[in-house]
Structure 1
Amino acid sequence: MPTDFTGLATPLVADACVRLGEPLRAAPAGILPVVAGRRVAGRALPVRHHGSVDVFLEAFTHAEPGDVLVIDNDGRRDEACIGDLAVLEAEAAGVAGVVVWGLHRDTPDLVEIGLPVFSYGRHAPGPVRLDPRDPDALRSARCGDHLVTADDVVLADDDGVLFVAADRAEAVLETARGILRTEREQARRIRAGESLRAQTRFDDYLKGRAEDPAYTFRRHLRRIGGAIEE
């Protein structure tokens, strides 16, 4: 499964999805790494939490090296659903990282463990509930508006978390690399004294928009080969 996220960032991947017409599937804003600078990419290992850690342990029996555990805790803010022991067990199972639609706890221990964990944040209380287990508990997970399965790749960094269909991941990442090359060249030229307005022929865009109000800046960029918005 292609997961070479080296040198890329989630904003570039998001822009690549838009450029290719792929569904833009981002975890809700605010799901960020426990330790800034941590990144992860790998096949999704989905799980639906129902109040007990046993569902995580069962998921680990099916984990493949490099998988990313995606926990659906319904975005709850009243409990932390994962802590140090579960994360240690994830690491022992070869899991590359954890994404939680919810909260974590045992923050100092997670920092020491070092496995990338992404969540809404920290909360001391763990679950006191035990709900009926969903029949799809090990087959899919919700993360905000998006359904995640083992057919997806997870890409996460300081800007958030994205989910991309595995069979489209290589095309998306290759497009992201192309956008990166363009943006690096644009940045180099700005530092050399050539403004972004000059590079993007912004005066031409304003003239084009005056003649045709439907002429968008995105359309203009595509025509001239620039890259800012996507």
Structure 2
Amino acid sequence: MDSLQLQRTYLDLTTPHVADACMRLGIAVRCAPAGIRPLWSESHIVGRACPARHYGSVDVFLEAIDRAAPGDILVVDNGGRLDEACVGDLVTLETALAGLRGIVIWGLHRDSSELRTIRLPIFSLGTLPTGPQRLETQEAAALTSARCGEHEVTSDDFVLADDDGVIFMPLSQAQGVSELAAAIRDTERSQAARMQLGTNFRKQARFDEFLATRNADESITFRQHLRSIGGAIEE
């Protein structure tokens, strides 16, 4: 699935929809650390991962951007450091001018005011005025993989990020995940609409039936019951 297809397919899917779909399909749910948040609310980005490991200089980002395609998302590995900001306004502007969709940073950013003006979606652990005061040797894999928390991300992955967080998935699974995520989304929207009209969720979920079934067989879970009636609220 190319960048344009990703944009069209995941435009109305959230990270919770996708996480639930991954769980049902048996695909590992790879989320960025919970502390990685968008610079402003209502951010929603999707695109192929463009990894870059930071060693104290912005040249690695420029090289990654040079290799990237429009629609990609720059995934910056700064080891989760909280003693320096590694992305500022110039790197962000360069990323935007190259047509990338956003930046996910396992680390900190700075120049927040300028970044809000540039308006390229930024997800990071937070902000700090101080930039890098080190310069380390760049590793051979600096542009082929990046870590984000406990997970490794490569260009074989794509990124979906919104107000609930950041999730990484294999590009090869994009279609199957999107189809199930859309079904989960539609089910939940239908359930919510019925609740707004007065039908509570216990009635929709036939909760009395579940309790009776569980009393007869303690191994039956609510999740199994929901699946059996086509409901969706947890996975």
| TM-score normalised by length of structure 2 | 0.95
Unaligned runs of 5+ in 1: none
Q: Find the counterpart in structure 1 of residue 220 from structure 2.
A: 215
The alignment status of 1:77 with 2:86, answered yes or no, reads: no
**Match among 7, 15, 18 for residue 12 of structure 2:** 7
Does residue 87 (structure 1) correspond to residue 87 (structure 2)? The answer is no
SS of aligned partner of 2:10: coil
Q: 1:145 is matched with which residue?
A: 150
Q: What is the CA deviation profile of residues 151-197 of structure 1, one whole-angstrom value per residue up to 9, with x for unaligned ones?
A: 00100011100101001011111111111110111011111111100
Partner of 2:52: 47
Q: Which runs of 5+ in 2 are unaligned?
A: none
Q: Deviations over 1:11-62 (max 9, x none)?
A: 1111111111111011010211111111110000001111110100111110
* Identity among equivalent pairs (%): 55
2-side partners of 1:74 and 1:207: how far apart? 51
The count of aligned residue pairs is: 230
Whole-angstrom CA distance in 2 between matches of 1:55 and 1:201: 56
State how far apart, in whole Å, the 2-side matches of 1:108 and 1:195 are: 44
Among 73, 85, 107, the residue aligned to 1:102: 107
> Could you give the per-residue CA deviations for residues 72-124 of structure 1, whole angstroms, max 9, x where no partner exists?
11111111110000000111111110000111000000000000110011111
* Structure-2 separation of matches of 1:133 and 1:212: 58
Which stretch of structure 1 is more off in the superposition, 174-183 or 2-11? 2-11
Q: Quote the Cα distance in structure 1 between the aligned partners of 2:148 and 2:59.
A: 20
Q: Shift of the alpha carbon at 1:211?
A: 2.1
Q: Secondary structure at the match of 2:134?
A: coil
Structure 1 ranges of 4+ moved more than 3 A? none
Quote the Cα distance in structure 2 between the aligned partners of 1:209 and 1:142.
Answer: 43
2:211 is aligned to 206
Shift of 1:205: 1.3
Contact 1:63/1:94, CA 8 A, preserved across alignment: no
Counterpart amino acid of residue 15 in structure 2:
T
Distance in 1 separating the partners of 2:125 and 2:138: 23
What amino acid sits opposite 1:177 in the alignment?
Answer: A
Q: What letter corresponds to residue 100 of structure 2 in structure 1?
A: V
Corresponding residue number in structure 1 for 2:65: 60
Q: Structure 1 CA distance, aligned partners of 2:59 and 2:161?
A: 25
Partners in 2 of 1:124 and 1:221 — Cα distance? 49
Equivalent of residue 17 in structure 1, options 22, 32, 46? 22
Of the structure 1 ranges 3-12 and 43-52, higher mean CA displacement relative to structure 2 is found in: 3-12
Aligned equivalents of 2:41, 2:56: Cα separation in 1 = 28
Task: Choose the corresponding residue for 1:159, options 159, 164, 183.
Answer: 164
Output the CA distance in 2 between the equivalents of 1:197 and 1:125.
52
